[in-house]
Structure 1
Amino acid sequence: MQVMAALRDKMKQNDNDSQLMLETLQDIVRLSEAVAVCQQVIREKEQKVADIQKERLLLKKVGRQKLMEIHDMMNKLKEKQTTGEVKVLEEMRIAYQKERKITSVIQNVLQCIILGSRVNWAEDPSLKAVVLQLEKKI
């Protein structure tokens, strides 16, 4: 308190030293105000950074969810394609078996016609080739 009282008395004297002290105090006040403004700017910027980090985290979560949805959709699409391919292959297998049965019946009928005609198929090379070909499994 004594120091403050001495400073106040010195400032009232209005001499060179008091002017210097007054200028120093004005500089201190101006610098304190600048520090306060800078601190406010820093707080605002820190708040903006925190908001951006929150938004980024939210976007990251949404991105992961979308990626999982895309992954699920791709798996479902692959499953549908695989199921479709299996159906096509099964239809082809059924058609193949049907054609195989028809061919076997035709071969048996042809063999019976040749044997029933009482032609000596062993002497005729072209007929022999046909009969022997019919013996082979399809």
Structure 2
Amino acid sequence: MEYNTTINAGEESFSDLAADEKIIEGSIEDLEREMEEMKVSYQNKTLALQRIQVADALRSKLMDNDDNSKVIWDTMKRIMKLSTAILKSQQESRELEEKLNEVKQSRLALKRAGECKLTQILEMKRKRKEELENMEVSDMLKKARRNLQQEIQMTTLLQNIFQGLIIGSGVNWAKDPALKAVVLQLEKNMTDI
């Protein structure tokens, strides 16, 4: 029992250590993130201070009104012209990109409309083909019906002729089983088919 108690106590201390390690790791990550943010902030502030110092040095040099200040003025004017030209070029580039996007959109809309029209045309062709096939089948059915009607009329006529011949011959067809089957078969009405 003492050993079990010692082992259970050891397991609890290990689980506490694991939880403490996770907390410490999370704190370290937070501190590293804060340190990185501080470095970036320091660099930005250093750059801003350097810009202010350069601007102050240029201002004091420009006040001297000597040959070096004239060169600085000329350089600044050239920088301003170039900056203006860059801004103008960027604006023109944006406008051209907007026009290009409008052309792409209209082209896409035309493509979709063309696909829609093509689908409609294909659907109309398919329907037309089905209609033509139906008309052909319908015409074939009409011809078949006409032929069937003619055959029925011919068969009925032949049946009547055979009945007339058998009855006119004076043979007792009821006694002869083969003749009886023929006569009874001739009694069927072919128009019911």
Q: TM-score, normalised on structure 1?
A: 0.73
Q: 1:102 to 1:74 in 2, by over 3 A?
A: same
Residue 64 of structure 1 is matched in structure 2 by 116
Gaps of 5+ in 1: 1-5
Deviation, structure 1 residue 71: 2.5
| Correspondence list, 1:31-46, <5 A | 33-46=85-98
> Which has the greater radius of gyration?
2
Seq. identity, %: 25
1:131 aligns to 2:183 (yes or no): yes
Equivalenced residue count is 131
Give, as a single letter, the amino acid of the residue that structure 2 aligns with 1:66.
Answer: L
- Residues 1:63 and 1:117: Cα distance change in structure 2 (over 3 Å): same
State whether structure 2 residue 104 is matched by structure 1 residue 52: yes
Q: Is the 8 A contact 1:11 1:22 kept in 2?
A: no
Say which of 56, 62, 65 aligns to 1:12. 65
> Which of 115, 118, 126 is the matching residue for 2:170?
118
Does 2:160 correspond to 1:105? no
Q: Which runs of 5+ in 2 are unaligned?
A: 1-58
* Alignment correspondent of 1:3: none
SS in 2 for 1:38: helix
* Structure-2-length-normalised TM-score: 0.55
Higher relative contact order (CA 8 A, sep 6+): 1
